[in-house]
Chains A and B, each alone.
Chain A
Amino acid sequence: DSGVTQTPKHLITATGQRVTLRCSPRSGDLSVYWYQQSLDQGLQFLIQYYNGEERAKGNILERFSAQQFPDLHSELNLSSLELGDSALYFCASSGGGRSEQYFGPGTRLTVT
């Protein structure tokens, strides 16, 4: 168990809908990272938050947004969903000035 939790485990929704994925980092970790894993693209970095502030952006679509709350949990919002958004979404956390990132169990999103 990495100490990173994610909910829900699985989401099934229709095209055009909006969903919210939730992540709680390991105790004490201030950085949260979101990654997308699809069959054809592998694991791709989406966005990073550090202590409530956006720190870095990767190949994140404009339809996607995220935030980190004062209790350090983070939410990833996906809107106007398309079939191609079906993927595994992972969050990871790090802290203490260390480089290692610990991943949660992921949310499997299926868009039909």
Chain B
Amino acid sequence: QKEVEQDPGPLSVPEGAIVSLNCTYSNSAFQYFMWYRQYSRKGPELLMYTYSSGNKEDGRFTAQVDKSSKYISLFIRDSQPSDSATYLCAMIYGAGNMLTFGGGTRLMVKP
């Protein structure tokens, strides 16, 4: 079993929809949680970064962490075709450590 599980998709939604992307993890030692967006096998781009349970909002993006359930989510409001990409969740024990990634979810937003 992988340390971080993520539904690979693809997830197809119409433009303007609310998108929910999720990851579960098994190791409670993970303390910091990140979401990356990756276009067409380009370099992963850091979208959101959280370290505590609860919600963090940045524009159309909301990251949610539930450490008790070992479950994290990324919500995208008013999705746009330009949001079409692969979204990767990543976790880390602490600063200066390696990232452990989920397998990524491919999102397609149709006009």
Seen from chain A, the residues whose Cβ lies within 8 Å of a Cβ on chain B are: 2, 4, 6, 31, 33, 35, 37, 42-45, 48, 50, 55-56, 58, 88, 90, 92, 94, 97-106, 108
Query: DSSP majority for the B interface?
Result: loop
Beta-carbon contact of B96 and A100 below 8 Å:
no
Apart from A42-B102, A100-B49, A106-B43, 11 more pairs, CB < 8 Å = A43-B44, A43-B88, A43-B101, A45-B98, A48-B98, A50-B96, A55-B96, A88-B41, A97-B96, A98-B95, A103-B44
Distance between A14 CB and nearest chain B CB, rounded to angstroms? 22
- For the A-B complex, the count of residue pairs with Cβ-Cβ distances under 8 Å equals 68
Beta-carbon contact of B44 and A99 below 8 Å:
no
Beta-carbon contact of A56 and B43 below 8 Å:
no
Residues of B within 8 A of A6 (CB): 43
User: Does B94 lie at the interface of the complex (its beta carbon under 8 Å from any beta carbon of A)?
Assistant: yes
Q: Which of chain B's residues 82-111 have a Cβ closer than 8 Å to chain A?
A: 88, 90, 92, 94-104
Q: Residues 39-60 of chain B: 1 if any A CB is under 8 Å from the residue's CB, otherwise 0? A: 0011111100101000000000
Residues of B within 8 A of A90 (CB): 43-44
Identify B46's interface contact among A42, A48, A56, A101, CB under 8 A. Answer: A101
Identify A42's interface contact among B34, B42, B97, B103, CB under 8 A. Answer: B103
